[in-house]
Structure 1
Amino acid sequence: MKRLIWLWLIFYTGSLYAHNQLVVDIMSSENFSQRYAEFLNGRSPLDVQSFYPTTKGSHIEIIEMVLLQQALFLGGETREVIFNPKPSVNIVEFSDMLSGESLILARSVWHEDIINYRGSLYVSDAVVEFGQYEAGLYVTKRNVALQNLPQEQLEQLTVVANPRWRVDWRALNNTDINIVSFIGPWETMLNMVETEVVDAMLINFSVSQNLLLNFEEREYVPIQNIKMMLPDSRHFIVSKKHPQGEMIFAALNRGLKILRAQGVLDKALHQSGFINHLVKDWEYVNQQMLSSSQVEP
């Protein structure tokens, strides 16, 4: 009898603990758990006030994991967040969100990618506003000539791009650059640059002090003094079909408004290197697209 009571207590306590957790999905192919843990270094994500990078690689994904939790907490959702890597979650396919199997994603998405799904998805206030997302044209470090290519000679450049990445594709199509279409993994596209099948690839600026991107011991640098604005805003999304969707979305948006008003979102984007001070004075290749930067989706 005592053993039955003991087993029941274990089950009840475990169930109670599970109910006090909020499951947030993240891409398993980009499981940032290790770098996320290294960035926190024992801190609670709710205590993070400095967003400077402490690990290699893109930092915005780590920062969004933190900002999401801070926004939810400020909005009244106090459950512990548990990140759940899922292979079915990727940058252009949201079937689990649409069906209600997934509640919320741990990273923001382009508004253009989900505009046709707004009937099934709640879309938060912008985390990255229109005009804030900048990227460089990365070439191999050994290609010294391309690193200093003048903007007026960009029509000589070949850049690999995935047409399914619609924001990147639209940005590049508003330039004189020659686009090489490729539908496949990001790593394969970068390898095309490495093997000189193409000259460059559009990538958000590295957080390293010299903007160097190091991938699998291979080094890439952006063409100097030019950058591109990716013409869209980025948002968190919440499933409307999930039983907790409406409640979680309300808390999230309340919290994001507070973070925006406090200047935390802007500080996080700057300190993380997402808005990179090293390229502040670089010229836009697609300058004409900035005229839409005041238009909210």
Structure 2
Amino acid sequence: MDANKPIVTLIKMTTRVPSFFLSLFLFKAFFSFAALASQAQSNNADIPKELVVAARGMPEIWAEQVGKQSCDRYKLPEQHDLTRGFYESLIACRALKAAGIDTRFKFIAPPSHARAIRMVEEGKVDLLSESAWLSDSNPELVYISDAVVREGRFVKGLYALKGHPILASETPEQDYKNYRAITVEFWHHDKQALKSITDNIVYTAQHNRAHEMLLAGRADYTLYKFAEQENLETNVEGVPVLPVQGIKVALPGSRHFLVNAQKPYADNLTKALNKGLMILREEQDIEDFLGVSPTAVEDWILLNP
């Protein structure tokens, strides 16, 4: 037996081992790359064809307005003053369509907005399509979309009863200080906006009490979203009110869609919403569409710039 044969065999083995591991590494790298490429190509494939969505009062309104037609084909009626929740749900649906996601909304109607947020946090629905303030959103429990309503773009008017002297003021940007505002105690953003322009504020625990306070003369005006009517008239619990002409206030903060973080498609759904919002924003002023920053009051004096 050749005495040098074991040495030759050992040399051959040591040269083969690195080649084996190199081949194994390349094999794994190839299939990892292929898997990543496949995942990238089907990034939204796992978003279901039907999403369970929370928004107050939406099942009836959506069925009446949109029905079975695709939301991107729906046209608003000429005379419309629908809820902001409907407009926002329409934006959420159209954003997903714009991002190439073909899905339907199955609406659940929670009793309150706070309950709707909890339903998303507890994993009971896929999406909150009635936007929430960023300050009310818990990033540890939900995925948060890009801003639907951007910082400073949610403006409200100072609404008073018809015939109130504040409506006839020629210098409303000064005269409003002589009157008393009213808002709901737990509407923190309205409260903060009012506090930035006046100290003369009274609070109520319930929204439906505001009109009673106005009628009783215990308050003069309240903050309200500008209406779609030509004269911007709206009503507070059935009582017609008009905005003080020429002035407005901006609510602090931004508003966002919330996504159930417990779903395996949560990340993809959030990315699709963000992509769609970006596309829609290139085509239209979303805040104007939602009625929170209408072009009709674009040139009005902002009391809290």
Please, which moves more after superposition, 245-254 or 231-240? 245-254
- Structure 1 residue runs of 5 or longer lacking an equivalent are 1-18, 288-297
- 1:104-159 CA distances to partner (integer Å, 9 max, x unpaired)? 11211111222xx111111111111112111011111132x121343223332211
Gap change, CA 1:34 and 1:96, over 3 Å in 2: closer
Q: Equivalent pairs: percent with the same residue?
A: 27
Whole-Å separation in 2 of the counterparts to 1:285 and 1:75 = 38
Q: 1:269 Cα deviation (Å)?
A: 3.4
Whichever residue aligns with residue 21 of structure 1, its letter is E
In structure 2, the residue matched to 1:171 is 193
Is 1:238 the counterpart of 2:264? The answer is: no
Gap change, CA 1:248 and 1:183, over 3 Å in 2: same
Is 1:55 the counterpart of 2:75? The answer is: no
Is 1:77 the counterpart of 2:101? The answer is: yes
Provide the alpha-carbon RMSD of the alignment.
2.6
The number of residues matched between the two structures is 256
Is 1:283 the counterpart of 2:301? The answer is: yes
Is 1:104 the counterpart of 2:147? The answer is: no
In structure 2, the residue matched to 1:24 is 53
Contact 1:158–1:198 at 8 Å: present in 2 too? Answer: yes
Is 1:138 the counterpart of 2:163? The answer is: no
Contact 2:182–2:202 at 8 Å: present in 1 too? Answer: yes
Gap change, CA 1:62 and 1:94, over 3 Å in 2: closer
Query: What pairs with 1:179-190 in structure 2 (closer than 5 Å)?
Result: 179-184=201-206, 186-190=207-211
Gap change, CA 1:141 and 1:42, over 3 Å in 2: farther
Is 1:251 the counterpart of 2:251? The answer is: no
Whole-Å separation in 2 of the counterparts to 1:104 and 1:189 = 31
In structure 1, the residue matched to 2:71 is 45
Whole-Å separation in 1 of the counterparts to 2:290 and 2:260 = 28
Whole-Å separation in 2 of the counterparts to 1:32 and 1:215 = 21
Whichever residue aligns with residue 90 of structure 1, its letter is H
SS at match of 2:177: helix
SS at match of 1:137: strand
Whichever residue aligns with residue 54 of structure 1, its letter is Q
In structure 2, the residue matched to 1:291 is none
Whichever residue aligns with residue 237 of structure 1, its letter is L
- Candidates 166, 170, 183, aligned match of 1:161: 183
Whole-Å separation in 2 of the counterparts to 1:103 and 1:93 = 11
Q: 1:257 Cα deviation (Å)?
A: 2.3
Q: 1:196 Cα deviation (Å)?
A: 2.4
Higher relative contact order (CA 8 A, sep 6+): 1
SS at match of 2:193: helix
SS at match of 1:209: coil
TM score, norm. by length of structure 2? 0.74
Q: 1:44 Cα deviation (Å)?
A: 2.3
Higher alpha-carbon Rg: 2
Is 1:67 the counterpart of 2:87? The answer is: no
- Structure 2 residue runs of 5 or longer lacking an equivalent are 1-47
Q: 1:74 Cα deviation (Å)?
A: 3.0
Gap change, CA 1:134 and 1:91, over 3 Å in 2: farther
Contact 1:190–1:201 at 8 Å: present in 2 too? Answer: no
Whichever residue aligns with residue 294 of structure 2, its letter is N
Gap change, CA 1:177 and 1:33, over 3 Å in 2: farther
In structure 2, the residue matched to 1:120 is 141
Whole-Å separation in 2 of the counterparts to 1:93 and 1:41 = 22
Gap change, CA 1:237 and 1:42, over 3 Å in 2: closer
- 1:190-239 CA distances to partner (integer Å, 9 max, x unpaired)? 33223322111111111100011135542100112111111221111112
